[in-house]
Amino acid sequence: MIITPCSHGLEGIGVSTGYRSPGLHMSTIYNSLYQELEPKRFIKGSTPDPLRLEAGLAFESLLEEGIKQRLCGERMGEFITAEGIVYSPDLILFNSAPTERLGEIKLTWLSSKDVPREPANGFPPKFDKYFTQMKAYCYHLETCYARLITFFVNGTYRPPQPELLAWDVEFTKRELAENWQMLLNHAMHKRLLGIPI
Protein backbone atom coordinates (compact mmCIF):
# COMPACT_ATOMS: atom_id res chain seq x y z
CA MET A 1 0.00 0.00 0.00
CA ILE A 2 1.22 3.50 -0.88
CA ILE A 3 -0.34 6.50 0.85
CA THR A 4 0.48 9.98 -0.37
CA PRO A 5 -0.96 13.17 1.14
CA CYS A 6 -2.63 15.34 -1.50
CA SER A 7 -4.59 18.56 -1.84
CA HIS A 8 -8.23 18.23 -0.86
CA GLY A 9 -9.24 20.82 -3.48
CA LEU A 10 -11.52 22.67 -1.07
CA GLU A 11 -9.66 25.98 -0.90
CA GLY A 12 -11.96 28.75 0.31
CA ILE A 13 -13.65 26.41 2.74
CA GLY A 14 -15.72 28.15 5.40
CA VAL A 15 -17.00 30.86 3.06
CA SER A 16 -20.70 31.01 2.24
CA THR A 17 -21.34 30.36 -1.43
CA GLY A 18 -24.73 32.07 -1.39
CA TYR A 19 -25.24 35.54 -2.81
CA ARG A 20 -24.75 38.33 -0.27
CA SER A 21 -25.88 41.75 -1.39
CA PRO A 22 -23.94 44.88 -0.50
CA GLY A 23 -25.01 47.04 2.41
CA LEU A 24 -25.52 46.67 6.13
CA HIS A 25 -26.55 43.16 7.16
CA MET A 26 -28.46 42.33 10.34
CA SER A 27 -25.64 39.93 11.33
CA THR A 28 -23.20 42.86 11.40
CA ILE A 29 -25.34 44.51 14.08
CA TYR A 30 -25.95 41.52 16.35
CA ASN A 31 -22.34 40.34 15.94
CA SER A 32 -21.12 43.80 17.01
CA LEU A 33 -23.52 43.79 19.95
CA TYR A 34 -22.33 40.41 21.22
CA GLN A 35 -18.67 41.39 20.77
CA GLU A 36 -19.41 44.05 23.39
CA LEU A 37 -21.65 41.93 25.62
CA GLU A 38 -19.36 38.87 25.67
CA PRO A 39 -15.92 40.05 24.47
CA LYS A 40 -14.08 36.93 25.64
CA ARG A 41 -16.42 34.65 23.69
CA PHE A 42 -17.06 36.80 20.60
CA ILE A 43 -13.62 38.31 19.96
CA LYS A 44 -13.71 41.50 17.91
CA GLY A 45 -11.84 41.17 14.62
CA SER A 46 -11.33 37.44 15.03
CA THR A 47 -11.92 35.05 12.17
CA PRO A 48 -14.13 32.02 12.82
CA ASP A 49 -12.48 28.63 12.45
CA PRO A 50 -13.07 27.93 8.73
CA LEU A 51 -13.65 24.21 9.20
CA ARG A 52 -16.25 24.78 11.92
CA LEU A 53 -17.87 27.47 9.79
CA GLU A 54 -17.93 25.11 6.81
CA ALA A 55 -19.50 22.36 8.93
CA GLY A 56 -22.25 24.79 9.92
CA LEU A 57 -22.82 25.95 6.34
CA ALA A 58 -22.90 22.38 5.03
CA PHE A 59 -25.31 21.28 7.76
CA GLU A 60 -27.55 24.29 7.13
CA SER A 61 -27.68 23.57 3.37
CA LEU A 62 -28.40 19.88 3.93
CA LEU A 63 -31.08 20.50 6.52
CA GLU A 64 -32.71 23.30 4.52
CA GLU A 65 -33.19 20.93 1.61
CA GLY A 66 -34.60 18.18 3.83
CA ILE A 67 -36.98 20.59 5.56
CA LYS A 68 -38.16 22.01 2.24
CA GLN A 69 -39.03 18.51 1.05
CA ARG A 70 -40.65 17.30 4.29
CA LEU A 71 -42.15 20.33 5.98
CA CYS A 72 -42.90 22.74 3.13
CA GLY A 73 -40.29 25.17 4.33
CA GLU A 74 -38.69 27.54 1.90
CA ARG A 75 -35.53 29.61 1.88
CA MET A 76 -36.74 33.02 0.87
CA GLY A 77 -33.50 34.80 0.03
CA GLU A 78 -32.75 38.26 1.31
CA PHE A 79 -35.09 40.85 2.78
CA ILE A 80 -34.44 44.52 3.55
CA THR A 81 -35.82 46.44 6.54
CA ALA A 82 -37.23 49.97 6.28
CA GLU A 83 -33.83 51.18 7.57
CA GLY A 84 -32.05 49.44 4.68
CA ILE A 85 -30.67 46.54 6.74
CA VAL A 86 -30.38 43.25 4.87
CA TYR A 87 -31.30 39.94 6.50
CA SER A 88 -31.77 36.40 5.24
CA PRO A 89 -33.72 33.88 7.31
CA ASP A 90 -32.69 30.23 7.00
CA LEU A 91 -36.31 29.14 6.44
CA ILE A 92 -39.89 30.24 6.58
CA LEU A 93 -42.20 27.36 7.46
CA PHE A 94 -45.58 27.96 5.84
CA ASN A 95 -47.55 24.97 7.10
CA SER A 96 -46.91 25.81 10.74
CA ALA A 97 -50.10 26.70 12.61
CA PRO A 98 -51.25 29.25 13.61
CA THR A 99 -49.23 31.21 11.02
CA GLU A 100 -45.95 31.02 9.17
CA ARG A 101 -42.93 30.43 11.37
CA LEU A 102 -39.33 31.58 11.08
CA GLY A 103 -36.93 28.63 10.87
CA GLU A 104 -33.41 29.07 12.21
CA ILE A 105 -30.77 26.34 11.83
CA LYS A 106 -27.67 26.14 14.01
CA LEU A 107 -24.74 23.75 14.34
CA THR A 108 -22.73 24.13 17.52
CA TRP A 109 -20.01 22.62 19.66
CA LEU A 110 -21.71 24.07 22.75
CA SER A 111 -23.13 21.49 25.16
CA SER A 112 -26.82 20.63 25.03
CA LYS A 113 -26.75 19.72 28.73
CA ASP A 114 -28.81 22.69 29.97
CA VAL A 115 -31.24 23.22 27.08
CA PRO A 116 -34.94 22.69 27.83
CA ARG A 117 -36.21 19.13 27.45
CA GLU A 118 -39.73 20.11 28.61
CA PRO A 119 -41.79 23.29 27.96
CA ALA A 120 -39.91 26.27 29.45
CA ASN A 121 -39.81 30.06 29.53
CA GLY A 122 -36.17 30.48 28.62
CA PHE A 123 -32.88 29.11 27.40
CA PRO A 124 -29.38 29.19 28.91
CA PRO A 125 -27.76 32.63 28.40
CA LYS A 126 -25.00 31.16 26.20
CA PHE A 127 -27.65 30.94 23.45
CA ASP A 128 -28.82 34.57 23.76
CA LYS A 129 -27.32 35.53 20.40
CA TYR A 130 -29.49 32.91 18.63
CA PHE A 131 -32.60 34.43 20.19
CA THR A 132 -31.55 38.02 19.45
CA GLN A 133 -31.21 37.03 15.79
CA MET A 134 -34.53 35.15 15.70
CA LYS A 135 -36.42 38.01 17.37
CA ALA A 136 -35.00 40.52 14.87
CA TYR A 137 -36.06 38.36 11.93
CA CYS A 138 -39.51 37.64 13.43
CA TYR A 139 -40.06 41.35 14.03
CA HIS A 140 -39.55 42.13 10.36
CA LEU A 141 -41.42 39.06 9.10
CA GLU A 142 -44.33 40.13 11.34
CA THR A 143 -44.61 36.77 13.04
CA CYS A 144 -44.24 35.89 16.72
CA TYR A 145 -43.40 32.27 15.89
CA ALA A 146 -40.06 30.61 15.29
CA ARG A 147 -38.53 27.15 15.23
CA LEU A 148 -34.92 26.68 16.34
CA ILE A 149 -33.28 23.52 15.00
CA THR A 150 -29.87 22.87 16.51
CA PHE A 151 -27.33 20.16 15.81
CA PHE A 152 -25.16 19.74 18.90
CA VAL A 153 -21.98 18.12 17.53
CA ASN A 154 -21.07 16.61 20.91
CA GLY A 155 -24.48 16.64 22.60
CA THR A 156 -24.08 16.88 26.35
CA TYR A 157 -20.41 15.73 26.16
CA ARG A 158 -21.40 12.88 28.53
CA PRO A 159 -20.48 11.01 26.39
CA PRO A 160 -19.71 13.14 23.32
CA GLN A 161 -22.45 12.08 20.94
CA PRO A 162 -24.27 14.12 18.26
CA GLU A 163 -27.74 15.33 19.13
CA LEU A 164 -30.33 17.08 16.93
CA LEU A 165 -32.95 19.06 18.86
CA ALA A 166 -35.71 21.49 17.89
CA TRP A 167 -37.96 23.95 19.72
CA ASP A 168 -41.00 25.93 18.70
CA VAL A 169 -40.74 29.41 20.16
CA GLU A 170 -43.46 32.01 20.61
CA PHE A 171 -42.31 35.55 21.30
CA THR A 172 -44.50 38.42 22.47
CA LYS A 173 -44.82 41.46 20.23
CA ARG A 174 -43.25 43.47 23.04
CA GLU A 175 -40.17 41.18 23.13
CA LEU A 176 -39.77 41.61 19.38
CA ALA A 177 -40.15 45.40 19.47
CA GLU A 178 -37.75 45.83 22.42
CA ASN A 179 -35.16 43.56 20.81
CA TRP A 180 -35.34 45.49 17.54
CA GLN A 181 -35.06 48.84 19.32
CA MET A 182 -31.99 47.55 21.20
CA LEU A 183 -30.36 46.49 17.90
CA LEU A 184 -31.21 49.80 16.24
CA ASN A 185 -29.82 51.74 19.21
CA HIS A 186 -26.62 49.70 19.04
CA ALA A 187 -26.32 50.20 15.27
CA MET A 188 -26.77 53.95 15.64
CA HIS A 189 -24.34 54.15 18.57
CA LYS A 190 -21.72 52.27 16.52
CA ARG A 191 -22.55 54.38 13.45
CA LEU A 192 -23.32 51.25 11.46
CA LEU A 193 -26.44 52.84 9.97
CA GLY A 194 -24.88 56.16 9.10
CA ILE A 195 -27.61 57.92 11.07
CA PRO A 196 -26.27 60.42 13.61
CA ILE A 197 -27.22 59.83 17.25
Query: What is the domain partition of the chain in residue ranges?
Result: 26-189
Q: Is the pLDDT of residue 133 over 50?
A: yes
Strands, E assignment, the chain: 73-74, 79-80, 86-87, 91-93, 101-108, 145-152, 163-170
CATH architecture of the domain with residue range 26-189? Alpha-Beta Complex (3.90)
pLDDT digits (tens, 9 = 90+) for 62-112: 777 776 666 655 566 789 999 999 999 988 887 666 678 999 999 999 999
